[in-house]
């Protein structure tokens, strides 16, 4: 999977219109200077040779030198990746802490006002684009009410608006899935048996019903992590959040191939290993998977 990602990212990056040499040299640069620059950057070689060099160097932990920042690419990623992970984890926690309780409440209070409110929240969360929601939050909570800063990174307070914006779509998905899964589980025989034994309703919901909805939830959460990481590119740009997403946008504008390749590769590796962890977690949540 990771090998396929390197192949796709390498060749798609070079489909971007423009030449990095034109951005690095002045307009009145001599043709000899342009040729020398292309040779120095290795852009004069055929694409398959360039890819082989990139892959060989990447296997040794060498992702080259940034054409725009004039720094080692690995250093740039290490400086910015923690903030992207921080934003993604915060958005994940916000979405789960809000979506799962509302989804459970919508299921046990089906066709009531609580259910209708949960459905409306889920509908809005999936319908509103992240960049538009981010602008709305900036205008209301930052410009009008002065509750949170609109951009930058200096304290945890700066994390609130981008985390809420990034969490909205996942919140809607988890909320709807939790409601649907809980409705299926609440109709099972073992739930009726647990109630017939006289167990408190809270114990029935949390220990018996909710636990059996975790497998589809964990699956969706693992898959949606990639959506959060990719969505962080847009959200970081809107809020000026100094993470890998903002670095990728700037690198694309500067035709900085090494930074684009390495950044997308790092994010993809995180996504791949997260899904591996989800697969391993199945065996803990459902012992029948181990026996199978």
Model pLDDT for residues 34-79, shown as the tens digit of each residue: 788 778 777 778 888 888 888 888 888 888 888 778 888 888 888 8
Position 18 scores a pLDDT of 67
Q: DSSP secondary-structure letter at 159?
A: G
Rounded to an integer, what is the distance from CA 170 to the centroid of its chain? 10
Whether 292 has a pLDDT exceeding 80, the answer reads no
pTM higher than 0.85:
no
| Maximum Cα–Cα distance across the chain | 87
Cβ atoms within 10 Å of 164's Cβ, excluding its own: 21
State how far the Cα of 49 lies from the Cα of 75, in Å rounded to an integer: 25
Give the contacts of 171 (CB within 8 A, at least 6 positions apart): 94, 95, 98, 99, 121, 122, 125
Position 267 scores a pLDDT of 84
Domain boundaries, the chain: 2-59, 82-242
Q: In 3-state terms, what secondary structure has residue 222?
A: helix
Q: Tell me the fold of 82-242.
A: MetI-like fold (1.10.3720)
CA distances from 212 to 36, 94, 208 (A): 63, 22, 7
Say what angle helices 214-239 and 160-186 make with each other, to 10 degrees. 160
Model pLDDT for residues 159-189, shown as the tens digit of each residue: 899 999 988 888 888 888 888 888 888 877 7
């Amino acid at each position: 999977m990771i090998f396929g990602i390197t192949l796709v990212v390498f060749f798609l990056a070079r489909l971007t219109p423009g030449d990095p040499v034109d951005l690095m040299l002045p307009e009145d640069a001599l043709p000899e200077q342009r040729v020398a620059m292309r040779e120095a950057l290795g852009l004069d070689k055929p694409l398959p040779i360039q890819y082989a060099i990139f892959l060989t160097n990447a296997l040794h932990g060498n992702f080259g030198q940034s054409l725009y920042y004039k720094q080692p690419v690995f250093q740039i990623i290490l400086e910015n990746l923690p903030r992207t992970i921080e934003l993604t984890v915060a958005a994940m926690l916000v979405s789960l802490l809000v979506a799962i309780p509302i989804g459970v409440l919508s299921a046990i209070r089906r066709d009531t006002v609580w259910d209708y409110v949960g459905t409306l929240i889920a509908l809005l969360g999936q319908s509103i684009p992240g960049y538009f929601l981010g602008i709305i939050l900036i205008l209301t909570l930052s410009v009008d009410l002065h509750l949170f800063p609109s951009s930058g990174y200096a304290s945890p307070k700066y994390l609130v608006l981008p985390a809420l914006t990034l969490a909205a779509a996942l919140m809607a998905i988890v909320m709807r899935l939790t409601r649907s899964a809980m409705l299926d589980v609440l109709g099972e025989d073992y739930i009726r048996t647990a109630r017939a034994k006289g167990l408190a309703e809270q114990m029935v919901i949390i220990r018996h019903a909710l636990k059996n909805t975790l497998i589809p939830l964990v699956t969706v959460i693992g898959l949606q992590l990639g959506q959060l990481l990719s969505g962080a590119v847009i959200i970081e740009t809107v809020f000026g959040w100094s993470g890998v997403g903002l670095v990728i946008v700037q690198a694309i504008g500067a035709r900085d191939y090494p930074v684009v390749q390495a950044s997308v590769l790092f994010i993809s590796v995180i996504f791949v290993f997260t899904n591996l962890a989800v697969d391993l977690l199945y065996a803990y949540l459902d012992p029948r998977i181990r026996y199978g």
